[in-house]
Amino acid sequence: MDPPSLINGGSFPSANASSYGLTEIWPFPLNGGGVGGVLGLRSNHLAGYVETRGTGIVNRDVLVDESTITEQSESRGGARRKRRDATSEDESSKLVSTSSDNDMQKNSGGKRQKVSGSGDENGDSKADVESNSGTDNKQAEQSMQPSERPKQDYIHVRARRGQATDSHSLAERARREKISERMKILQDLVPGCNKVIGKALVLDEIINYIQSLQRQVEFLSMKLEAVNSKISPSIKDFGAQTFDTTAMAFNSQAAREYVQGSPQEWLHMQVGSGFERAT
Amino acid sequence: MNSKSSPSGPCPHRAKFTRRFLRALARINKDRPTSSSHHEIRKRSRKIKIAADASMAYAVGSGRAWSRVMLWKLRNRTRYRAWIWSRVIASTRKRIDKGSKQGGELSRTDQLRQLVPGGEAMDFCNLLDEAAHYIKCLTTQVQVMRNIADFYFT
């Protein structure tokens, strides 16, 4: 049992977490709050920074404010020692809340204390600082991960082994799958397109097919124009025949019902208004 | 969504299209001028084609981008004509400028965009979707028109 290492293990996460908590909890744009947040964050950086540099700057700050800090650090140390057995994340978060409360009550003291804590630990042992900086990184990663998860849920694509997992490539993969699916639908629609391999050739087939269909429509409209003029005098025996042929042309029952009405309607229109006047 | 229906099955807009088209044909037939010059014949066949397109687009409704655009184009036909010509001229100029730099798929995609109504403003994914539906509707249109023509002819 060496007390300094234990204290370090307890105190470091709380210091870091309080620095995170300060910026979140402190909603006021007060000078003290802003400085506190900045100082807290800086203490994180200092933990890594001091590894190389030593404890020069930080310890000076500690010495200046030592008189105000000592009692607080003592009380906190006691609290930490009570809880040191259970060092789960929940416990550390509780510590965070208490420490941040203290900070809110006493602005300058709280700020200084964080710096002093990191300074003292750096003075104690470098190995501890390294391990703690490792945990710092882990904590940073943990805090980053929840923000990324919703994005991944958003796209509903799962990456297979060896595929890229960032959101852009996931979206791109989803888009490509959609395109290939639609290409397949189009291939089913266009006759003779199933044998063709390659996106460009399939597109060629599709374009040709649409062009041919549009040309057919044009041709048929010309044909209908010619035919329409020919058929119009013998409109009398038209209704029944139209009914038969169009009914044969339609497969579904609903369509047949629909068309049963239409030729008669047409007959009425033609016979009633247009052609009796003409004849 | 209409794309859910099977591609080989009958188009759900077929009956609606036939009814509308027959009515439009009757209307065209009604105000037929007595003269049968070449110009008149061309004009009438053009009218029939427009009627077929419009009735197909009406039958589909506004649920599809291509039918919406087609209806809009047909509605503002007279105003739209000048715009079309300016676009055509601009696009040919562009193509000449681009030359052979962009061959292959991009030009194919652009061709498809020009064929499907309203395809200029779509991304590739939607373009394929609309093209599939448009092909389906065009085939029904052709079938129905051929049926009517065959009936008249015999």
pLDDT in tens, B98-145: 554 455 555 788 888 888 888 888 888 889 989 999 999 999 999 998
In angstroms, the first-to-last Cα distance of chain A is 119
Helices within chain A (DSSP H only): 3-25, 31-53, 56-83, 89-105, 107-124, 126-155, 167-189, 199-231, 239-249, 253-269, 276-278
Task: List pLDDT tens digits, range B23-37.
Answer: 888 888 777 666 667
Which residue of A lies nearest to B128 if distances are taken between CA atoms? A182
Residue-level pLDDT at A118 = 43
In B, residues 60-99, which contact A (CB 8 Å cutoff)?
Answer: none
- Report yes or no: B45 and A225 within 8 Å, Cβ to Cβ: yes
Instruction: Say yes or no: B113 contacts chain A, CB-CB below 8 A.
Output: no
Cα gap B46→A237, rounded to integer Å: 27
Residue type at B142 in one-letter notation: V
Residue B89 has pLDDT above 60, yes or no: yes
The alpha carbon of residue A161 is apart from the nearest alpha carbon of chain B, in Å, by 26
Contacts of A10 by beta carbon, 8 Å cutoff, 6+ apart: A80, A81, A83, A84, A87, A95
> B60, B137 in Cβ contact below 8 A?
yes
- Asked if A207's CB is within 8 angstroms of B149's CB, the reply is no
pLDDT of res. B29: 79
Q: What is the pTM of this model?
A: 0.50
Q: Cβ contact (<8 Å) for A227 and B152? A: yes
Shortest Cα distance from B147 to chain A (angstroms)? 7
List the single residue in B with minimal CA-CA distance to A204: B108
Of all residues in chain B, the one with the smallest CA distance to A225 is: B45
pLDDT for residue B47 is more than 70: yes
Taking an 8 Å cut-off on Cβ atoms, the answer to whether A250 and B132 are in contact is no
Residue A213: per-residue pLDDT: 92
ipTM: 0.80
Residues of A numbered 19-38 whose beta carbons fall under 8 angstroms of chain B's beta carbons: which are they?
none
Inter-chain CB proximity A250 and B15 less than 8 Å? yes
What count of Cα atoms within 13 Å lies in the side-chain half-sphere of residue A10?
20
pLDDT of the residue at A154:
53
Query: In this complex, do A206 and B32 lie within 8 Å of one another by their Cβ atoms?
Result: no
- Please, is A109 exposed, middle or buried when counting C-beta atoms within 10 Å of its C-beta (0-12, 13-18, 19+)? middle
pLDDT band at B149 (very low <50, low <70, confident <90, very high): confident
What are the pLDDT digits (tens) for A129-169? 444 444 444 454 444 444 444 444 454 556 677 777 788 88
Hey, are the CB atoms on B144 and A186 less than 8 Å from each other? no
